[in-house]
Chain A
Amino acid sequence: MTFWHIFLAFFLPGILGYGGGPASIPLIENEVVDRYEWLSVNEFTEVLALGNALPGPIATKMAGYIGYQEGGWFGAFVGVFATVAPSLLLMVAFLGLVYKFKDSPRVKNMSTYVKPTIAVLLGIMAYQFFAESYISVGWMHTLFLAAASFLLMEKVKVSPVFVIIGSLGYGAVFLA
């Protein structure tokens, strides 16, 4: 049953995640935190943060790690397979068909129509993480870390890797 659940938990976000890996993050959270309760919000944050700090596609890293935690190496394989295989098969098998209708307004509308909903899902998660941080470290640390990381990543264009390493160091010293 566990492997079947791992498959389902990552198949749905994979097949519904329009707009690349990041679009499937809130969908993954919905499955692994809310539905199957494999991870707490806190643990999910750790996985997401580390996933963002490491290079490579985010959806498969999360699927691999959470699958591993729930079902060992085979679980990792099942999670990654469920994330990657359906859309890749679609891409290879139906290439001719989709290619033919690539410029059709209907096919283009598909990704346009889901974007606001993905924005809402991501926004809800951002809100939850801010709320969580406010509860555990108070508004001053939260505000400082949020403002500093926003400025560094978005304005100074520092790589997220260094920002995350910096926040880990800040936490180890000031939030211990």
Chain B
Amino acid sequence: MTYLNLFLAFFRSGMLGYGGGPSSIPLVHKEVVGKYKWMNDEEFGDVLALGNTLPGPIATKMAGYIGYRVAGITGLFVSLLATILPTIILMILLLTSLREFKDQPWVQGMTKGVIPVVAVMLAVLTWQFFDSSKKGLGLKLSLFHIFAGVILLQFLGVHPGIIIGALLAYALFGPLKGTDKKKASVREGEETG
């Protein structure tokens, strides 16, 4: 029964999570804390905080870890598959069947129509990341990072992995300013409060 419940919990939150992984977080919370009571609010908060600290997609990290906590390695696989499999299969079926009509003018029109919408979605995401970076780093430092980022990525053609790796190394091993410590404790207060 546990495996079936895990499957149902993550199937539901996966299938209803429109707008990428982060949008399914409240749905996962509803299932895991509200419906099945596998965790309390505090534990769920910890898992979410930890998931946000590590790289990679958030929905699969949460599903895998919660599945593991509830029912071991098999639980991990059941939750993970329930999260990702249905939508991947849907995506492959839809895109491959669409390919056959690729040269029809109306299909090409559809492709053209959707580009500005995706551009807007990306612009909104850009703004969200900028906004949350302002909260963490302050406006001046964020603008400096963005300016440097545009030059390195767009004009010098540096691989983004190198820049991200360098920033992570700096976060871990670089000097720690007093303001960082203060900000960290303020943020802690916000999260727990």
Contacts of A45 in B (CB 8 A): 111, 114-115, 118
Q: Are A149 and B117 in contact (CB under 8 A)?
A: yes
* A107-B57 contact, Cβ under 8 Å, with A123-B126, A164-B117: no
Residue of A nearest to B145 (CB): A116
Contacts of A21 in B (CB 8 A): 20-22, 57-59
Which of A57, A60, A173 is in CB contact (< 8 Å) with B109?
Answer: A173
Which of A23, A57, A130 is in CB contact (< 8 Å) with B59?
Answer: A57
Q: Are A99 and B46 in contact (CB under 8 A)?
A: yes
Question: How far is A102 from B94 in the complex, measured between Cα atoms in Å?
Answer: 41
Q: Are A61 and B88 in contact (CB under 8 A)?
A: yes
Q: Are A88 and B87 in contact (CB under 8 A)?
A: no
Residue of A nearest to B154 (CB): A124
- Total of A-B residue pairs, C-beta within 8 Å: 357
Question: How far is A86 from B130 in the complex, measured between Cα atoms in Å?
Answer: 27
Interface size class of B (residues with CB under 8 A): 35 or more
Q: Are A106 and B136 in contact (CB under 8 A)?
A: no
Question: How far is A99 from B43 in the complex, measured between Cα atoms in Å?
Answer: 12
Tell me, rounded to whole Å, the shortest Cβ–Cβ distance linking B123 to chain A.
Answer: 4
* A175-B112 contact, Cβ under 8 Å, with A20-B20, A21-B57, A106-B171: yes
Q: Are A56 and B122 in contact (CB under 8 A)?
A: no
Residues 111 to 141 of chain B near chain A (Cβ within 8 Å): 111-127, 129-130, 132-133, 136-137
Q: How many residues of A contact B (CB 8 A)?
A: 103
Tell me, rounded to whole Å, the shortest Cβ–Cβ distance linking A94 to chain B.
Answer: 9
Residues 34 to 86 of chain A near chain B (Cβ within 8 Å): 42, 45-52, 54-61, 64-65, 68, 76, 80, 83-84, 86
Question: How far is A141 from B61 in the complex, measured between Cα atoms in Å?
Answer: 40
> Could you give, for residues 96-110 of chain A, a 1 whenever the CB lies within 8 Å of some chain B CB and a 0 otherwise?
001100111111111
Tell me, rounded to whole Å, the shortest Cβ–Cβ distance linking A53 to chain B.
Answer: 8
Tell me, rounded to whole Å, the shortest Cβ–Cβ distance linking B145 to chain A.
Answer: 3
Tell me, rounded to whole Å, the shortest Cβ–Cβ distance linking B136 to chain A.
Answer: 4
Q: Are B120 and A56 in contact (CB under 8 A)?
A: no
Q: Are A115 and B136 in contact (CB under 8 A)?
A: yes
5 nearest A-B residue pairs (beta carbon): A171-B113, A87-B56, A56-B87, A116-B145, A64-B88
* A to B CB contacts below 8 Å, 17 in the list: A18-B55, A18-B168, A20-B59, A46-B111, A52-B118, A57-B17, A88-B80, A109-B184, A110-B168, A112-B137, A119-B126, A121-B160, A159-B18, A167-B117, A170-B113, A172-B113, A175-B109
Please name 11 further chain A to chain B contacts, defined as beta carbons within 8 Å, in addition to the given A18-B164, A141-B113, sorted by A numbering.
A16-B164, A21-B57, A59-B57, A112-B133, A113-B170, A116-B130, A122-B123, A146-B119, A153-B120, A167-B113, A172-B109
